[in-house]
Amino acid sequence: MKFETRAIHAGEKPNLKEGGSGDVAKPIHLASTYAREKVDVPTAGYEYSRTDNPTRDALQERLAALENARHGLVFASGLGAETSLFLTLLQNGDHVVAFDDLYGGTRRLMTRIFNERFQVDVSFVDARDAQQVAAAINERTKLVWLETPTNPLLKLCDIKAIAELAHRHPGVVVGVDNTFMSPYFQRPLDLGADIVMHSTTKYLNGHSDSVGGALMMNDSDLYARLKFTQNAAGAILSPFDSYMILRGTKTLAVRMRQHQENALAIARFLEKQSRVNRVIYPGLASHPQYALACAQMSGFGGMLSFELDSDVEGAKRFVEALHYFALAESLGGVESLIELPAVMTHASVPPEERRKIGLADGLIRISAGIEHIDDLIEDLEQAFSKI
């Protein structure tokens, strides 16, 4: 099956057997527990809904199929998925190597909880250079954590090269947060990563009305350990949200194509504006890692950032003047969103760290929605007159 077909059929086959209802869409199984006839035999394998739930199982199968993975697990949020992964792999005294330009919440989880509370060391490196990742690995390293492209500076790292270098050290797991590209444009497991993580809140659900997270992997032993944590720590995704994301993934391919088309058109428009100093989008030839973007991804996604030729106040006036771009955190929904990372999504990153990675106070991030591009461009044009 091709991607678009898997996105509709994987995990959601109508039950046409005797007693089956033939539902074309997977029902939402709300029961918390499952009755059995005999003490020793759970009915259809289900015992208690934290452990296994039919709607959640369907989504896990769907997401695994989309990432070309053998296994999938879903959690209450993207950070819930990361917490469950870190609890599974890490303990006191272990070491993690991570990209220095991570999603702010991931960085906070690593530093404020796993480092401060559980003494897990984290080295943040510029993973655009694979050698810097390799050089930071030591005998205590258990995890290399990557995001590509990063948020909001859209820096890329070479998953294949880093996985090869990291796997020279037995026992090091390479994880990739694939939220920005979605499996439609990038499949890290095919490039050598061991585990892929998603905030399903973003493109996979795609409609800004559900919070969730996922982990996909091929290794059955790693899967068994994570499945144990999913049940033992309990950060599961609800049946309702599982249904929402199953529904969202059916249109992932068509949405991603439109997100990308709009993002590219907006990036080209912004490049021509005299009040714009810099546009960052992996699909522009001006992106310093354009060649890697073309090699590693099958598209460039719907996220872009730019710097206005103005101070923070001018940037605030610009984003507040827009009509169709909602001024909001998050991304990946059908509606266009805009935000100022330094004061919103990345406010938890210390100012000196923001300066180090190149995140200017006036940087503006756009999540291009799938509205008509003419309306979006017209909206941006009128906002330029308000700076």
Residue 50 is a catalytic residue: yes
Per CB under 6 A, which of residues 190..249 are in contact with ligand PLP?
Answer: 199, 201-202, 211, 213
Task: Give the helix, strand, coil percentages of the chain, each rounded to 5.
Answer: 40, 15, 45
Per CB under 6 A, which of residues 138..157 are in contact with ligand PLP?
Answer: 147, 151
Q: Which of 46, 86, 103, 318 binds ligand PLP (CB under 6 A)?
A: 103
Q: Which of 10, 63, 66, 79 binds ligand PLP (CB under 6 A)?
A: 79
Q: Distance between CA 190 and CA 212 in Å, rounded?
A: 24
Q: How far is the CB of 345 from ligand PLP (least distance, A)?
A: 8
The single-letter DSSP state of residue 172 is P
Residue 107 is a catalytic residue: no
Q: Which is nearer to ligand PLP, 134 or 197 (CB)?
A: 197
Which stretch, 49-57, 173-181, 219-227, 350-358, contacts ligand PLP (CB under 6 A)? 173-181
| Helix axis angle, 78-89 to 220-233, nearest 10° | 110
Letter for the amino acid at 386?
Answer: K
Contact in structure between 194 and 225 (CB atoms under 8 Å) = no
Q: Which is nearer to ligand PLP, 201 or 208 (CB)?
A: 201
Strand duo 303-308 + 121-125: pairing: unpaired
Which stretch, 34-42, 46-54, 73-81, 229-237, contacts ligand PLP (CB under 6 A)? 73-81
Q: Distance between CA 119 and CA 126 in Å, rounded?
A: 22
Q: How far is the CB of 198 from ligand PLP (least distance, A)?
A: 8
* 42-58 CB burial, b ≥16 within 10 A, e <16: beeebeebebbbbbbbb
Residue 103 is a catalytic residue: yes
Q: Which of 42, 105, 192, 314 binds ligand PLP (CB under 6 A)?
A: 105
Q: Which is nearer to ligand PLP, 54 or 282 (CB)?
A: 282
Catalytic pick from 50, 247, 250, 278?
A: 50
Q: Distance between CA 26 and CA 24 in Å, rounded?
A: 7
Q: Distance between CA 114 and CA 121 in Å, rounded?
A: 8
Q: Applying CB under 6 A, what is the total number of residues that bind ligand PLP? A: 16
Q: How far is the CB of 4 from ligand PLP (least distance, A)?
A: 24
Helices vs strands, H then E, count in the chain: 14, 12
Q: Distance between CA 347 and CA 299 in Å, rounded?
A: 29
Which stretch, 103-111, 152-160, 164-172, 364-372, contacts ligand PLP (CB under 6 A)? 103-111
Which stretch, 37-45, 75-83, 242-250, 292-300, contacts ligand PLP (CB under 6 A)? 75-83
Residue 78 found at the interface with ligand PLP (CB under 6 A)? yes
Q: Which is nearer to ligand PLP, 211 or 338 (CB)?
A: 211
Q: How far is the CB of 138 from ligand PLP (least distance, A)?
A: 26
Q: Which is nearer to ligand PLP, 77 or 141 (CB)?
A: 77
Encoded tokens for 226: 């994570």
Q: Distance between CA 189 and CA 265 in Å, rounded?
A: 30
Q: Helix H segments across 10-112?
A: 54-66, 78-89, 104-108
Residue 202 is a catalytic residue: yes
The single-letter DSSP state of residue 26 is P
Residue 84 found at the interface with ligand PLP (CB under 6 A)? no
Torsion on CA atoms 203, 205, 210, 214, rounded to nearest 10: -80
Q: Which is nearer to ligand PLP, 103 or 124 (CB)?
A: 103
Residue 106 found at the interface with ligand PLP (CB under 6 A)? yes
Catalytic pick from 177, 184, 255, 281?
A: 177
The string of DSSP codes covering 233-254 is H--BPPHHHHHHHHHHHTTHHH
Residues tagged active-site: 50, 103, 177, 202
Q: Which positions touch ligand PLP (CB under 6 A)?
A: 77-79, 103, 105-106, 147, 151, 177, 179-180, 199, 201-202, 211, 213
